[in-house]
Amino acid sequence: MPMGTLFLIQLILGYVAWLLCFGTYGLPRLESMDRAHAHRAIAILHSFRFFGLVFLVPGVVGPDLPAGFAPAAAYGDVATGLLAMLALLTIRIRPLFWAFVVAFNLVGAGDLLLDYWHAVRSGLPEHAGALGAAYAIPVLYVPLLMITHGYALYDLARHRIGASPGLAGDATAS
């Protein structure tokens, strides 16, 4: 079976497995929590995105990794992780916390979408072996990141549309 096909099958199965897990355990737990605490839990997960710098480490990834993919993926992850950490540090200053929550989710989801675009354009699925030890990131870690970004953005939009005062009103109530 071609490498590109194997990679795409594993990527799809990563989404299926995480969606099943998130639907069974994550979503009920997040929905039962105070909104700020739910978004803080998501920020904790995304604060580990500094791990994306591994795409720049020779020996972890192979020299045949398509050019241009690694720097964009690594620095987008770091930016998202830093914004998530800033959200965590500002939990007591709710307007600032909500601003960082929105920022890290928009930057993070955008980063992952751009990474997918770069991967397809550069032929990464056919050369996925060049990811080396970092192969697990797009197959196991990225689906969970994208699912939690999707939930967070949905929740932010739902409460923004559903409540006239918006996030500022929720910020004082939380």
At 171, is the pLDDT very low, low, confident or very high (cuts 50, 70, 90)?
very low
The span from the first CA to the last CA of the chain, in angstroms, equals 52
Please check whether residue 85 lies inside any domain of the structure.
yes
State the pLDDT at residue 100. Answer: 98
Please check whether residue 15 lies inside any domain of the structure.
no
pLDDT in tens, 67-83: 888 999 999 999 999 99
Please check whether residue 42 lies inside any domain of the structure.
yes
Q: What is the mean pLDDT of residues 91-102?
A: 97
Sign of the four-CA dihedral 163, 164, 170, 173: negative
> Does residue 169 carry a pLDDT above 50?
no
Please check whether residue 115 lies inside any domain of the structure.
yes
Please check whether residue 40 lies inside any domain of the structure.
yes
Please check whether residue 164 lies inside any domain of the structure.
yes
Please check whether residue 77 lies inside any domain of the structure.
yes
Name the domain count of the chain.
Answer: 1
- Tell me whether residue 23 is exposed, middle or buried, using C-beta atoms within 10 angstroms of its C-beta: 0 to 12, 13 to 18, 19 or more: exposed
State the pLDDT at residue 173. Answer: 47
Q: The pTM is what?
A: 0.89
pLDDT in tens, 105-154: 999 999 999 999 999 999 999 988 999 989 999 999 999 999 999 999 99
**Enclosing domain of residue 39:** 35-57+66-135+145-173
At 64, is the pLDDT very low, low, confident or very high (cuts 50, 70, 90)?
confident
* Summary mean pLDDT of the chain: 91
Q: Cα separation of 143 and 18, whole Å? A: 7
Please check whether residue 10 lies inside any domain of the structure.
no
